[in-house]
Structure formats: C-alpha cells, structure tokens
C-alpha cells in the first residue's frame, strides 16, 4: 500500500460553491478569466453567478435539481456552474463531442430538465431541438460577445431564458446550505466497459481533489496562491480541467487565460507575451507545440509547471519539452471516478517511461493481484491499480450493481494495470480492457461498433486502438461487408457523424473477408491489434 500525508482543508470551504465566493472576498480585483482580450475579475464572476442563481431560483430551480451544461470553453461555464452550486443543484456535463442521441441519453438518464448552452451554431440548434422534443423544460442561452462588451441580445421568454440578461440584472440569492456528501456533479464516463455511466461526485470529493493537487504542487515548487497564470485550453466539461484547472484556480486566486480551442501558436503567444506560468495539457498538445516551425523564436521562460495527463506522455516528447522550458513536464494520472486526481510526478524529477508519479497527498494506492485473489502484490509485480481516498466518487448514477463491483473494500478498482517500484512510484503498464484514449478523450470500442453495425453494408465489425504519434491512439474499424457492396472510410465517417462524437469516429478502415474469433466463437480484437502492430513494425 502506497500512501501519503493527510490533507489540509481548501480555503475552509464547506461546498464547491463557496470556493468562488470566498475567493471573491480575497482576490476581488484579480482576473479570474482572461477571454478574448477581456479580463473578468473574481468579483465580477461571483456577481454573475449570483445573478444567474437568482434568475434560476425565480424559475423554480432548487436544491437537488439537475442542470445540464452544454458548453465549449466560455466564461458562461463557470458562471452557470457556480450559480447551480449556490442553489444546491447538481451539474451534469454534456460535451460538444456528444452526438445528438448521446445528448438525449444523458438528459433522460439523469432527469435533467434545465439545459444551459451558447446561442451559436450547433449548440443553440441542438438546445432548441431538445426543447422542442420535450426533453427539457428550460433552455438557458448566452453569447460570448456579451463578455467582450456586447449588449444582451438574446430574447428570453417562455421556456427560454437569456443568461446575458440575467448576468446584467443585479440580484441577491442567498447560498443554500450543502453538506460534504451532497451530490455536486454527475460526470459521464464509460469506465472500462464502454457503457455510459454517470459518476456521482460530491462536494467533498471535488474539494478533496483540489486540496490534493495543491498539496502536491506546493511540495515541489515555489508556487504560492494568487500568483499562477494558466493556459486554459483543456475543455472545462472534462474532469481534468474542471478540478485540476478551474476549481484549483478559483480556490487559489489564479488567472485562467481561457481559450475556446487549442491552437499551438496561440498557446506559445500566451506563454511568450502573456506570461503564462502553468500549462495543464495532454500529450497531443505538447507534441503540437514541439512541431510548430517557429517554436525556437518564442520566449517560454515564464512557464514554471507543465502537467501532462489524459494519456501516457512519450519520453521523447518529455525530453524535448524539458530542453525548451528547463524542466521535465510532470506526468499525472487520474480518472473521472477520482475527480481527475490520482498520482503526480515530482516537480523537477526525470521520470522513466511509463511512470505516472506518486499517490497525491491523502490518497492510498494498492496493486491488486489476480481476480481470484484480489490481494496486494509486492513492489515490481504487475497487477490492477486500486485507489482510495476522500476524492473517490460515490458510485454510478442509477447503477447499484456496477457501483458495487467497482470496489474492493474501500478501494476503487481502476481497470488499469501497473506496478509500484521500490520508491513508491506507480508505473502504468496497460489497460485491462480495450479502452482507447485518443487526444486525451476516452473512446469505447463497443459504442463505436454498435453504431457501425447500423450501416446497411456492414455484416460484422471490430474496433480496436492503434498507436498514433500525434493522438496517442486512434480507432481502427475492421469490417466484414455484406455481399455485393462497397464502403470507404469517408462514407463510414459520414454515416456515423450523427451517432458518435468526433473523437469516436474511426480514423482507419480495414476491410476483411472474415474477422477472427476466439475459441468460444466471439469476435476477437487481439489478433487484429497484433497484426496491425506487426504491419506497422515491418514498415519502420
């Protein structure tokens, strides 16, 4: 068992909503968000959240209600998030990558009847369609232009409410009392099975994750609250950015240079001219920076901490980043079920390939042996990584059987295989299941296969992950066609475009006369994956 010291409280906050309002008292004039050339202070964001909370309360939103957020990176995200927290409501994150039927499933599964989004192409259209279909009762619409000086222009009436008008209307809304174990967030994940499940995350879970990140960062650097400037390109709807960037920055009085998408030149400019100090990213982002033709011309000296998560960071990429910024990127590991917090390397250490750091303060990790034993194994022995701590989720929404099977005692079984070395550092070896991580996003083969089977030309299909130098992994679709038909990758992707998220679309298509099977007659990924790896090796 690998454990670390206990945690200190975060700003003495008793709920996630308190983070913003406590920080607004301490860092009122400091910029929380910089967005499209506009600085939004802690005090301004707190006022926006309270005004929205008051407007929602007038519409009947109360403690225990579920509010769905369907946003790209926008200041409206923290404004509505903290408004819901002030009311004691629960957030469910929808993502811009969700296909329409995925949006419908998450709304129906959670019972969310309020949806907040932007009034811009795709977002607003999807929101209005969901309203017209009767899947929601209240649609909240905002515009990014509002934050850069535009007047509220969205008409709010009936079942539609203008977020911009609400923000511009001063109102009071007392905070609703919330307990540490009250539900704050339902965050969807496929875990390792591919079945969409809502992870139930409490206020205490999120506050603990923030404290864990802070304690680990403070232990190995000169960081102090109220000083960091973040590169804000990770999507806020993802648990990594929500807990590791947004909530951390709020609690510590830090500034987020929020961008609606990742652009390598913009990031380099944010570092060189914007004075960014923290960059939490995924490997594909660091690769893109390194491939920028003019990277040597940018001044990266302000950058004091790079954290890579979401997927393994290739050693070559880590070394090249270290040569540019003067220190190794810190590699971390976590899951939706752990609020994104699990392990983190030590600042300044040069970690070997596959190492994912040490348990964060307050966490305990064991490596479990074979399924029939489930006992901790000795250092150096590969087994399943299991983790316990105050940041571990409370189970899956409406799925008691899967919730129970996710734990061995107090330890969450992660489905990842790894080992602990003699120093207590955790090394990730492989995934127990067939989860594909592409550009930091989870892709579940069975979900993709189910959608492919809807194509009339497809008789059988297997989806597997293949290494990719940029994305980390890509989804490969191996398909057996029905007699007398043809299918191209472009045709398949077009067919799947309204059934899957963009990150789930296959990047390669292989056509086979027959697909491999196991001895039991089940379709088997292993042979295809091995054959793909062999072909890739032959071409090196």
Q: Strand runs (DSSP E) across 190-254, as ranges?
A: 197-202, 229-232
Which tokens in the block code for residue 257? 């240079």
Strand positions, DSSP E, 360-410 = 364-368, 383-388, 407-408
Place of tokens 């409410």: 161
- Vertex 87: Cα angle to 175 and 81 (nearest 5): 110
Reference 425, options 333, 311, 308, 312; nearest CA is 333
Domain ranges in the chain are 17-189, 203-431, 436-538
Helix, coil or strand: residue 359: strand
Q: Using DSSP, state whether 331 is helix, strand or coil.
A: strand
Q: What is the pLDDT of residue 285?
A: 86
Domains 203-431 and 436-538 share a fold: no
Which helix (H) or strand (E) element contains residue 33?
strand 31-35
pLDDT of amino acid 520: 47
CA–CA dist 310, 17 (Å, integer): 26
Q: Are 228 and 203 in contact (CB under 8 A)?
A: no
**Cβ pair 141, 160 in contact under 8 A:** yes
Neighbours of 119 (CB within 10 A): 23
pLDDT of residue 192: 44
User: Whats the size of the chain, residue-wise?
Assistant: 540
Beta pairing partners, 201: 185
CATH entry, 436-538, from 3.30.70.580, 2.60.120.1440, 3.30.360.10, 3.30.300.30: 3.30.300.30
Residue 5 has a pLDDT of: 58
- Reading the block at residue 173, the tokens are 């809304």
CA distance 24 to 4: 31
CA distance linking residue 378 with residue 34, whole number of Å: 48
Classify each residue of 371-385 as buried b or exposed e, where b means 16 or more C-beta atoms within 10 Å of its C-beta.
eeebebbeeeeebbb
**With contact defined as beta carbons under 8 Å apart, do 114 and 81 qualify?**
no
pLDDT score at 348:
77
From CA 513, how far away is CA 503, in angstroms rounded?
A: 27
CATH architecture of 17-189: 3-Layer(aba) Sandwich (3.40)
Which pLDDT value is given to residue 59? 95
Which of helix, strand or coil describes residue 476? Answer: strand
Say how many Å lie between the first and final Cα of the chain, rounded. 41
Residue pair 198/186 in contact (Cβ under 8 Å)? The answer is yes
Instruction: Write phi, then psi, for 418 (nearest 5 degrees).
Output: -170, -175
Tokens of 306: 């790079």
Count Cα atoms within 13 angstroms, Cβ side, for 114: 23
pLDDT in tens, 393-440: 999 999 999 999 999 999 999 988 889 999 999 998 766 667 788 888
Residue 531 and residue 464: Cα distance in Å, rounded?
12
Q: What is the DSSP letter of 364?
A: E
Among the residues of 225-331, which ranges form H helices? 239-241, 248-252, 264-272, 283-291, 315-325
pLDDT of residue 519: 44
3-state secondary structure of 136: coil
Q: Which residues of the chain have pLDDT under 50?
A: 9, 191-193, 519-520
| Residue range 313-326, pLDDT digits in tens | 777 788 888 888 88
13, two tokens: 């906050």
Which numeric CATH code is attached to 203-431? 3.40.50.12780
- pLDDT reported for residue 240: 93
Rounded distance between C-alpha atoms, residue 475 and residue 473, angstroms: 7
pLDDT tens figures, 131-155: 999 999 999 999 999 999 887 777 7
């Amino acid at each position: 068992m690998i454990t670390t010291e206990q945690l200190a409280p975060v700003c003495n906050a008793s709920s996630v909503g308190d983070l913003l309002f406590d920080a607004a008292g301490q860092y009122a004039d400091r910029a929380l968000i910089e967005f499209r050339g506009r600085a939004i202070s802690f005090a301004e964001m707190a006022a926006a959240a309270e005004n929205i909370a008051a407007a929602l309360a007038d519409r009947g939103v109360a403690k225990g209600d579920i509010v769905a957020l369907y946003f790209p990176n926008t200041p409206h995200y923290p404004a509505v998030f903290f408004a819901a927290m002030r009311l004691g409501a629960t957030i469910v994150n929808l993502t811009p990558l969700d296909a329409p039927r995925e949006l419908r499933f998450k709304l129906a599964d959670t019972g969310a009847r309020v949806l907040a989004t932007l009034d811009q192409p795709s977002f607003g259209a999807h929101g209005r369609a969901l309203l017209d279909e009767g899947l929601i009762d209240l649609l909240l619409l905002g515009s990014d232009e509002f934050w850069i000086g535009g007047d509220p222009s969205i008409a709010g009436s009936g079942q539609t409410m203008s977020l911009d008008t609400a923000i511009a209307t001063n109102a009071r809304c007392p905070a609703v009392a919330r307990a540490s174990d009250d539900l704050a967030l339902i965050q969807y994940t496929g875990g390792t099975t591919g079945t969409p499940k809502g992870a139930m995350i409490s206020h205490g879970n999120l506050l603990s994750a923030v404290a864990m990140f802070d304690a680990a960062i403070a232990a190995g650097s000169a960081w102090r609250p109220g000083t960091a400037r973040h590169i804000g390109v990770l999507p806020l709807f993802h648990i990594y950015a929500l807990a590791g960037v947004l909530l951390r920055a709020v609690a510590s009085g830090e500034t987020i240079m929020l961008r609606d998408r990742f652009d390598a030149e913009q990031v380099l400019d944010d570092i060189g001219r914007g004075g960014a100090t923290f960059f939490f990213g995924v490997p594909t982002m660091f690769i893109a920076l390194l491939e920028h033709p003019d990277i040597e011309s940018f001044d990266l000296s302000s950058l004091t901490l790079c954290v890579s998560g979401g997927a393994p960071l290739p050693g070559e990429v880590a070394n090249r980043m270290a040569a540019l910024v003067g220190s190794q990127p810190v590699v971390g590991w976590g899951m939706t079920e752990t609020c994104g917090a699990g392990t983190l390397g030590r600042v300044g250490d040069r970690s070997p390939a596959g190492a994912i750091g040490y348990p964060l303060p307050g966490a305990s990790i064991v490596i479990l042996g074979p399924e029939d034993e489930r006992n901790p194994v000795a250092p150096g022995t590969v087994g399943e990584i299991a983790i316990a701590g105050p940041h571990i989720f409370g189970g899956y929404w409406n799925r008691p059987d899967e919730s129970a099977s996710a734990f061995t005692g107090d330890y969450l079984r992660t489905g990842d295989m790894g080992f602990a070395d003699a120093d207590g550092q955790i090394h990730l070896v492989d995934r127990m299941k067939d989860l594909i991580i592409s550009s930091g996003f989870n892709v579940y083969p069975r979900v993709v296969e189910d959608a492919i089977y809807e194509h009339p030309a497809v008789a059988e299909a297997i989806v597997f992950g293949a290494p990719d130098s940029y994305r980390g992994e890509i989804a490969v679709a191996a398909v057996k066609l029905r007699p007398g038909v043809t299918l191209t990758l472009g045709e398949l992707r077009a067919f799947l475009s309204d059934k899957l998220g963009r990150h789930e679309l296959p990047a390669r298509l292989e056509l086979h006369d027959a697909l491999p099977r196991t001895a039991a007659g089940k379709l088997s990924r292993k042979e295809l994956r091995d054959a793909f790896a062999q072909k890739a090796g032959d071409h090196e």
